[in-house]
Amino acid sequence: MKIAKTPSELKDILKTYSSSVGFVPTMGALHHGHLSLIEESVRENEITVVSIFVNPTQFLEGEDLDKYPSKIDADEKICSFAGVDILFYPNINDIYEEDEIKVIAPNVRGFILEGFSRPGHFDGVLTVVMKLLNIVSPAKAYFGKKDAQQLALIQQMVKNFFMDVEIVPLETVRESDGLALSSRNIYLNDTQRVDALKISKSLKTATKLVMQGVLSTQEIKEKMQLVLEPLEVEYVSIVSRSFSPLKEVEIGNSIILVAARLGSTRLIDNLWV
């Protein structure tokens, strides 16, 4: 596995290959969720590039940028074992300069749910993803459904800017008890780790209700809130796959989303129905 520290180093290495590239952007502290994206890219492409970059512009003032977990040695081994060809591990100054042009999230879809809770977050995400896609020029880029709104906005950016890359969405990987894997799970203490299960349980409750024929989003959200108690819930929402509000679940076109805080740790999860 080759390691590139700067965009020009990465571009020089890529010039030596003629094959099409699969790309997995991450912020590191890799877990099995990341690994599922990497493995799919390795399966589908001759060359796989993984980036590890904790992008400062997607963190709001007071968020966990300074304490975001960093495990570069372990991450390097995971990538190497998984068959990654190039690990791209740039510094902030290699990616950003002063007074830049930015990508701005759309007014409606970019400012509900995560965009409402974290104003400016998606501008940072879209800007860095645009940069990374331009540096790597992959044929395919792999993203988790765990970050459903991020995925939808990246798909919209690729469409709106006529970018030549296929975005491949992959399923959320969970612990055996249902907790969605996240680099932030390591912040949870034992009690919070148990409480966090209420999030996936509330989504299971929603699935059961839909299977019983309950489609009213109001009714489903109320039942989910009961399961989530006494967590500090930021939102429970049911939207279409294009993030429009729904009065009734449309099977095959709906996403049920939850964001909740456990102490200072903010977790999100969702279910595609």
Q: Could you give the residue numbers annotated as active site?
A: 34
Tokens 């912040």 found at: 187
Task: Indicate whether 27 belongs to the interface with ligand AMP (CB under 6 A).
Answer: yes
34 versus 198: smaller Cβ distance to ligand AMP: 34
Q: Among 21, 37, 86, 135, indicate the residue that binds ligand AMP (CB under 6 A).
A: 37
Sheet holding 254-262, edge to edge: 232-240, 254-262, 265-272
Query: Rounded to whole angstroms, how far apart are CA atoms 256 and 24?
Result: 25
Token couple for 83: 């068959």
75 versus 94: smaller Cβ distance to ligand AMP: 75
37 versus 136: smaller Cβ distance to ligand AMP: 37
Closest CB 97 distance from ligand AMP, rounded Å: 22
Sign of CA dihedral 45, 170, 77, 127: positive
Q: Among 14, 128, 181, 228, indicate the residue that binds ligand AMP (CB under 6 A).
A: 181
Residues touching ligand AMP, count (CB under 6 A): 17
Terminal-to-terminal C-alpha distance of the chain: 39
- From the list 83-91, 98-106, 160-168, 181-189, the region that binds ligand AMP by CB under 6 A is 181-189
By rule CB under 6 A, what string of x and - marks binding of each residue 246-265 to ligand AMP? --------------------
Sign of CA dihedral 91, 94, 96, 102: negative
- From the list 15-23, 75-83, 160-168, 180-188, the region that binds ligand AMP by CB under 6 A is 180-188
**Which 3 state secondary structure label does DSSP give 16?**
coil
**Which 3 state secondary structure label does DSSP give 261?**
strand
Query: Rounded to whole angstroms, how far apart are CA atoms 55 and 125?
Result: 8
Subset of 94-153 contacting ligand AMP (CB under 6 A): 143-144, 146-147
Alpha-carbon distance values, 178 to 173, 194, 201 (Å): 9, 11, 8
Subset of 39-78 contacting ligand AMP (CB under 6 A): none
Tokens 């148990």 found at: 194
35 versus 209: smaller Cβ distance to ligand AMP: 35
What is the DSSP secondary structure assignment for residue 186, as one 8-state letter? G
- From the list 2-10, 31-39, 60-68, 236-244, the region that binds ligand AMP by CB under 6 A is 31-39
Q: Among 183, 200, 202, 205, indicate the residue that binds ligand AMP (CB under 6 A).
A: 183
Q: Among 180, 215, 238, 271, indicate the residue that binds ligand AMP (CB under 6 A).
A: 180
Token couple for 113: 């749910």
Name the phi and psi angles at 202, rounded to 5.
-65, -35
Closest CB 147 distance from ligand AMP, rounded Å: 4
| Binding stretches for ligand AMP (CB under 6 A) | 26-27, 33-34, 36-37, 143-144, 146-147, 170, 172-173, 180-183
